[in-house]
């Protein structure tokens, strides 16, 4: 049986965040693609900052990677995707975004997996903040998945990343056009100078009397404003800022060594957000005490967003797993 990709709901009761905030009822929504749950190996896909559970189909954000006869084949695998509570896609918002950190979302997702009576996942895959949440999930539940695939992310938010999230937070709090302006800044983090040069070459839009890079950035800001809520942006930015599997725990080595999954780290050589150097450092540390870990790199001028652009490279890296 192939499931419809409609949005389903789980209600979690009396969830207490790490900061001590009590949520008597927390709505966790999800979508399932491919065979019914627990009839085929299950791949959990964690969405990125402006993403959602709609990974494939109409307006699916990972259609090039997931689907029938794609890299992650929905004839062979059941694909499960949760919405981060507060991302707004399911109609539920959360105003007090500072109540949450990335580990809270990992705890929520892990509870969702238990509620769905899933004993073990075949893989958890996620890019950017979704990959950071994947790290947190595996650190909380070391046996939860056979394969952990963090893409364009890391087990911690660096000072550079935290600084950019702080700037995002200031824009979201103080701008008269918060979503548009925050998105314009964020696009500078998601791409690279070389990517912009290749695409625009200092050309101008004669009709609008602006540089094409300016009209492109304005377009992205306006486009996001039409589909994304301010509270959702604040929440997702908060999660991006708070990834850290060692917070309140022992060292990275101690925590990561407990993860039983095969860990497949995929970095991007030009990523300005989660740098390849940080990812290589994570790999070098991990391989001291864990044999089933690998590091591979997407080569691209496009920076952080390459995991949404360089699909052939991503296919080549993921095909041996799927």
Using CA atoms, how far apart are residues 93 and 259, in angstroms rounded to an integer? 32
Region for residue 166 given its phi and psi (left: phi exceeds 0; alpha: psi -120 to 50; beta: otherwise): alpha
Total domain count for the chain? 2
Residue 110: how many CB atoms within 10 A of its CB? 16
For position 1, what pLDDT does the model report?
45
Looking at the fold, whether 250 and 134 belong to one and the same domain comes out as: yes
Say how far apart CA 78 and CA 38 lie, in whole Å: 8
Amino acid 208: pLDDT: 86
Q: Does 13 lie in the same domain as 34? A: yes
| Same domain, yes or no: 250 and 197 | no
Question: For 263-275, what is each residue's pLDDT tens digit?
Answer: 999 999 999 999 9
Q: Which residues pair with 262 in a beta bridge?
A: 147
The whole-number pLDDT of residue 261 equals 98
Q: Which segments in the chain show pLDDT lower than 50?
A: 1
Identify the domain containing residue 205 by its residue range.
160-239
Would you list the DSSP string of 144-175?
A: SEEEEEEES--SB--HHHHHHHHHHHHHHHH-
Pair 237, 165: CB distance under 8 Å? yes
pLDDT at 198: 97
Report yes or no on whether pTM surpasses 0.95.
yes
Task: Work out the burial of residue 269: count CB atoms within 10 Å of its CB; fewer than 13 is exposed, 13-18 middle, 19 or more buried.
Answer: middle
Do 107 and 228 fall into the same domain? no
Q: Quick one: tokens of 85?
A: 């509570």
CA distance 98 to 174: 17
If asked whether residues 295 and 151 sit together in one domain, one would say yes
R_g (Cα) of the chain, nearest Å: 19
DSSP letter for each residue of 214-229: HHHHHHHHHHHHHH--
- In this structure, the answer to whether residues 19 and 129 fall within a common structural domain is yes
In this predicted structure, what is the pLDDT of residue 294?
A: 98
Query: Do 151 and 164 have their domain in common?
Result: no
Query: From residue 243, how far is each of 117, 132, 215 by CA, in Å?
Result: 27, 6, 33
pLDDT at 2: 52
Where is the domain boundary, 220, 239, 258?
239
DSSP state of 303: G
């Amino acid at each position: 049986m192939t499931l419809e990709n409609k949005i389903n709901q789980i209600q979690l009761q009396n969830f207490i965040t790490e900061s001590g905030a009590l949520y008597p009822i927390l709505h966790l929504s999800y979508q399932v693609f491919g065979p019914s749950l627990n009839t085929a190996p299950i791949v959990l896909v964690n969405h990125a900052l402006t993403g959602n559970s709609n990974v494939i189909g109409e307006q699916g954000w990972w259609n090039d990677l997931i689907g029938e006869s794609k890299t992650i084949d929905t004839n062979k695998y059941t694909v499960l995707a949760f919405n981060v509570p507060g991302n707004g896609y399911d109609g539920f918002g959360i105003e007090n975004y500072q109540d949450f950190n990335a580990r809270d979302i990992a705890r929520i997702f892990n509870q969702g997996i238990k509620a769905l009576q899933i004993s073990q996942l075949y893989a958890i895959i996620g890019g950017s903040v979704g990959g950071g949440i994947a790290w947190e999930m595996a650190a909380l539940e070391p046996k939860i998945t056979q394969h952990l695939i963090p893409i364009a992310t890391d087990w911690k938010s660096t000072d550079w990343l935290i600084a950019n999230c702080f700037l995002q937070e200031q824009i979201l709090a103080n701008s008269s056009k918060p979503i548009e302006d925050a998105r314009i800044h964020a696009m500078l983090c998601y791409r690279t100078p070389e990517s912009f040069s290749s695409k625009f070459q200092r050309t101008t839009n004669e009709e609008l009397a602006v540089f094409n890079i300016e009209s492109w950035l304005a377009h992205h800001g306006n486009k996001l404003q039409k589909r994304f809520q301010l509270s959702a942006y604040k929440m997702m930015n908060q999660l991006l800022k708070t990834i850290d599997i060692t917070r309140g725990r022992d060292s990275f080595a101690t925590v990561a060594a407990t993860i039983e999954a095969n860990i497949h780290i995929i970095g991007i050589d030009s990523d300005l957000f989660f740098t390849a150097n940080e990812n290589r450092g994570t790999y070098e540390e991990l391989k001291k005490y864990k044999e089933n870990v690998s590091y591979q790199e997407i080569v691209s001028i496009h920076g952080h967003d390459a995991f949404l652009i360089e699909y052939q490279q991503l296919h080549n890296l993921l095909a041996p797993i799927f």
